Amino acid sequence: MLSASDFSPVRLEDRPRFVSHYHQFPQVHSDNTFSNMICWNPYAHYRYAAYRDTILISSTIEGKTSFRPPVGPRDPEILADLLELCVHRGDEAPLSLIDETQRAWILSEYPDLPLYPDRDYFEYVYRTEDLATLPGKNYLSIRRHLNRFRNNCKPVVEPLDSQNLDEVTDFLIEWCEWKNCESEPFLGHEKEALLYAISHMAELGLGGLLIRVVGKVGAISLFEPLNEETLVVHFEKGLPDCEGIYKAINAETASSVQGKFCFINRESDMGVPGLREAKTRYHPHHMVEVWYAIRDDLERFL
């Protein structure tokens, strides 16, 4: 019987286990990626259980715990155990980030269980070629802004690596001052997640890119393979000194992996209206939809 004591904190040394398991069971949503969990651990307190041939994941944010569906072979007993744990250990929405395949399986076992779409955490997936080349009328305005940036700012693009990490750290400090991270707790957590990511790039298998403007780092992106056909961009940050730099780092990141990945997952908008508008403007190829279950509904099945 699965219990809370089976779960342990996610640690850096656990990465080989996750890499091996996700090779067998590829992920489509970024939240379960090892890099996401380890970088955001101080905020989300990720834990996992290696239970039989399955990995189960939980997170606890501001005292509220939620679990993810099992990652592994479909085992009705493990699913039943997890739902029991959700009811007794989870918050009001104790089962979350259920992707489309997992939803189909859960409903095959529990046909009458309501599952609710979690739009704020739908992830935007684009054709790499579209982001790299910005073709046709749909991208005309973006192309104009990007060309203006390139003409006015004379950017230089280079890999983010051990040779420029100190400069990137200085960039993040400046970015946080601009964003006033001290008064926005979530941005403070994001800064710490970013600093962890850039200081552990090799261990996490992350790639990165930066843009310099007048010799100074003005934008960065950090990314990794999500599955065989999809790259996920975990972080993308820019300073306001030269208009259009976010469009530039987006396009340059896509160009750097064009031919290697068919798609780029640029994660969710978290319900932020401006972010939703910006992500929609790039015309996603598809969305990674996710659902959640609430405790009151789960209790009726136990």
Angle at 282 (CA atoms; ends 278, 288), nearest 5 degrees: 90
Confidence of residue 166 (pLDDT cuts 50, 70, 90): very high
Q: Are 217 and 198 in contact (CB under 8 A)?
A: no
pLDDT, position 223: 99
**Those residues with Cβ within 8 angstroms of residue 279's Cβ, 6 or more apart along the chain or in another chain:** 124, 266, 269
| pLDDT given at position 26 | 98
pLDDT at 182: 87
Q: Per-residue confidence at 53, pLDDT binned at 50, 70, 90? A: very high
Sign, CA dihedral 3-95-31-270, equals: negative
Report the percent of the chain where pLDDT is more than 90. 98
Please report which residue ranges of the chain form alpha helices under DSSP H: 15-24, 34-39, 41-44, 76-89, 100-109, 128-133, 140-153, 165-179, 185-199, 201-204, 245-257, 273-281, 295-299
Per-residue model confidence (pLDDT) at position 275:
96
In this prediction, residues 248-261 reach a mean pLDDT of 98
168-227 tens-digit pLDDT: 999 999 999 999 998 899 999 999 999 999 999 999 999 999 999 999 999 999 999 999
What value, to the nearest 5°, has the Cα angle with vertex 48 and ends 44 and 51? Answer: 160
For the chain, the average pLDDT equals 97
Specify the pLDDT at position 165.
Answer: 95
CATH 3.40.630.30 fits 4-122+290-299, yes or no: yes
- Select from 124, 129, 135 the least CA-distant residue to 232: 124
**What is the CATH architecture of 123-267?**
3-Layer(aba) Sandwich (3.40)
Residue 276 has pLDDT above 90, yes or no: yes
pLDDT of residue 192: 96
Domains 4-122+290-299 and 123-267 share a fold: yes
Q: Backbone phi, then psi, for 263, in 5-degree steps?
A: -130, 155
Domains of the chain by residue range: 4-122+290-299, 123-267
| Residue 9 half-sphere exposure toward CB, CA atoms < 13 A | 10
- The pLDDT score that the predictor gives to residue 302 is 80
Sign of CA dihedral 164, 168, 171, 173: negative
pTM over 0.95: yes
pLDDT reported for residue 301: 80
**Residue 291 near residue 69 (C-beta atoms within 8 A):** no
Tokens 């989300």, located at residue: 44
- Of the listed ranges 44-53, 64-73, 86-95, 182-191, the least confidently predicted one is 182-191
Q: Which amino acid is at 34?
A: F
Work out the average pLDDT over 51-63. Answer: 97
Whole-angstrom distance between the N-terminal and C-terminal Cα of the chain? 14
